[in-house]
Amino acid sequence: MSSTAFIIPVDPKAPSSKAVPSLNLAKLWSTVPAGSKPPKVGATRIFYNTPEEKEGSNLTALTSLGDSFGSKSGDSKRELVRKVVGSAVKAVKDLGEGVKEVAVDASLDPHAAAVAANLSAYKFSLKTEGSASYKPETGNYPPEKLSFHPLAGSKDWDSGAIYAKAQNFARTLMELPANILTPTAFTERVKTEFAGIPNVEIIVRDEAWAQEKGMRTFLSVTKGTDEPAKFLEIHYNGASKDSQPLAFVGKGITFDSGGISLKPAAGMKLMRGDMGGAATVVSAALAIAQLQLPVNLIVATPLCENLPGPSANKPGDIIYAMNGKSVEIDNTDAEGRLILSDALYYVSTTYKPHTLIDVATLTGAMVIALGEAFSGVFSTSDSLWQELYAAGEVEYDRFWRMPLDDEFGPQIHSSNADLCNTGGRPAGSCTAALFLKAFVEGIEAKDGGEAPLRWAHLDIAGSMEATRPTPYQEKGMTGRPTRALIEFVRRSSQQ
């Protein structure tokens, strides 16, 4: 018989809770051996056969809020709730398969508690043990091992669960190996996930369409592989037809070998996640559609592989992009900006959004600059940066603004073409952002007024992977910044 686990955050200085009436929390907590200091944030103690019931065998996990909980507020308090709930879920998860149901006292912050519970329970595996293993040939994914519900239901808990499950979807897409998640398989999986959600249209374009559009920089990257490229569009119409849309563009390199400029073998398998930009914008769109936010959203993801086949791009090749600019390929491993350039021009000119955000695992320089803690943001709009920053702080999916300045221009403008796809090692993430800027239409202000289009480029090369666990997320692909993007759109829709 399976047990129900009750997770209850506890303030060590004043242990009390009315979440479970039959539970004397103060008395239970008093049995925990006391040290000279209160237990650290997330320290979890498990009590068996508590609360007692006639049938079944429950357990209670009390998790410490630390000694400074009373002084916390706003975003810092919200993050503390995520840490303690995540730590408790991990402790319960370690107990094995006897626990199926988890009831959470989410009264401190239902949204944050739901996020932490669902993120910390996630585990990706392709092991073949048991009946719940992933079956690549059928596309069936194993069911979640833990089922969560709050002790007191709320809309905030429901929204938090949607945020977290969207991020987990992005994590799965990023973790799946490239032989399973090809560009074609990516589009099929997206169709499955969005099935039945109202106000959504999924459009899958092929290489013939891209050729007709003149997407030569995009198509140049896929020349080295036999795997057909795809251009995926998701249209979510949550507002009136005449309401101007916002747009997301995501880099979708399902595997990046570097092409002719081959990457070192060590760690190359990480490049199955080089479609992290596509994974996060698609997953954010999934949550936005599930929440039925009152916005119109266009999502575009160019999807392909970058391999060193006999027809692959060569260093020194010059390609003419969709907007007519000539691009010299100095390094075939700088392919992300090639596929994004055509996508950005297409979206900005075809749909004329008021805001355009692209997300890409673009540069190793960003890993050096910011590590794993922050996603880098390059933006032409101060207001857009401020809105992204605020959304990132709320979800603790944080951003840091980087310089987007023409001073870096000579590094990418001094070749035989209009642009060179690399500018050397100095300021590598900045020159990449400046390269992309040349393909976004509408970001220049006219007659002293505001620009028609606000644009931001998010470089997530560092934040794409967690090399060390956090209280509510294990090591591996992170699915960031999915939650921050959802929150950004939610807040924007309320203005």
pLDDT by residue (tens digit) across 439-456?
Answer: 999 999 887 788 999 999
Average pLDDT over residues 51-60: 75
Nearest to 423 by CA among 442, 405, 441: 405
- How high is the mean pLDDT of the chain? 94
| 136 or 79: which leads in pLDDT | 79
Query: What is residue 287's predicted lDDT score, i.e. its pLDDT?
Result: 98
The Cα–Cα gap between 227 and 230 comes to 10
The Cα–Cα gap between 8 and 51 comes to 12
Q: Where are the beta strands (DSSP E) in 38-165?
A: 44-48, 59-64, 99-104, 147-150
pLDDT grade, residue 169 (50/70/90)? very high
The Cα–Cα gap between 443 and 35 comes to 59
Query: What is residue 261's predicted lDDT score, i.e. its pLDDT?
Result: 98
The Cα–Cα gap between 305 and 230 comes to 10
Query: What is residue 354's predicted lDDT score, i.e. its pLDDT?
Result: 98
* Integer angstrom CA distances of residue 311 from 184, 216, 306: 21, 14, 11
Q: Please check the confidence at residue 54 and state whether its pLDDT lies above 60.
A: no
**DSSP-based three-state secondary structure for 192:** helix
Residues 62, 10 contacting (CB under 8 angstroms): yes
**CATH among 3.40.220.10, 3.40.50.970, 3.90.78.10, 3.40.640.10 for 3-153:** 3.40.220.10
* Integer angstrom CA distances of residue 26 from 10, 14, 18, 78, 107: 9, 8, 11, 24, 17
pLDDT grade, residue 139 (50/70/90)? low
Which of the residues are catalytic?
Answer: 263, 337
Task: Domain ranges for the chain, please list them.
Answer: 3-153, 160-493
Query: What is residue 140's predicted lDDT score, i.e. its pLDDT?
Result: 63
Q: What is the pTM of this model?
A: 0.96
Q: Where are the beta strands (DSSP E) in 408-475?
A: 419-420, 454-459, 465-466
Task: Please write the tens of the pLDDT for every residue from 220-233.
Answer: 999 999 999 999 99
Neighbours of 451 (CB within 10 A): 14
Query: What is residue 329's predicted lDDT score, i.e. its pLDDT?
Result: 98
The Cα–Cα gap between 341 and 130 comes to 45
Give the residue ranges of DSSP H helices in 94-154: 110-120
The Cα–Cα gap between 318 and 417 comes to 7
The Cα–Cα gap between 432 and 491 comes to 29
Handedness of CA 158, 164, 170, 173 (dihedral sign): negative
The Cα–Cα gap between 222 and 225 comes to 6
Query: What is residue 366's predicted lDDT score, i.e. its pLDDT?
Result: 98
Give, for 249, the enclosing helix (H) or strand (E).
strand 246-250
Nearest to 189 by CA among 197, 180, 200: 180
pLDDT grade, residue 132 (50/70/90)? low
Q: Cα 149 from chain centroid?
A: 24
Amino acid code (one letter) for 1: M
Please, what's the b/e burial string for 25-45 (b: 16 or more CB within 10 A of its CB; e: otherwise)? Answer: beebbeebeeeeebbebbbbb
pLDDT grade, residue 135 (50/70/90)? low
The pairs formed by 368-373 with CB atoms below 8 angstroms and a separation of 24 or more are 369/402, 369/429, 369/462, 370/400, 370/462, 370/463, 371/462, 372/462, 372/463, 372/465, 372/466, 372/467, 373/398, 373/462, 373/463
Residues 494, 289 contacting (CB under 8 angstroms): no
Strand pairing report for 375-379 and 476-477: unpaired
Q: Please check the confidence at residue 35 and state whether its pLDDT lies above 80.
A: no
The Cα–Cα gap between 90 and 68 comes to 23
Q: Please check the confidence at residue 1 and state whether its pLDDT lies above 50.
A: no
Residues 384, 454 contacting (CB under 8 angstroms): yes
DSSP code per residue over 271-307? GGGTTHHHHHHHHHHHHHHHTT-S-EEEEEEEEEEE-
Query: What is residue 130's predicted lDDT score, i.e. its pLDDT?
Result: 62
pLDDT grade, residue 55 (50/70/90)? low
Q: Please check the confidence at residue 242 and state whether its pLDDT lies above 90.
A: yes
Longest dimension (CA), the chain: 80
Q: Which CATH architecture has domain 160-493?
A: 3-Layer(aba) Sandwich (3.40)
**What are the structure tokens assigned to 205, written together?**
């374009």
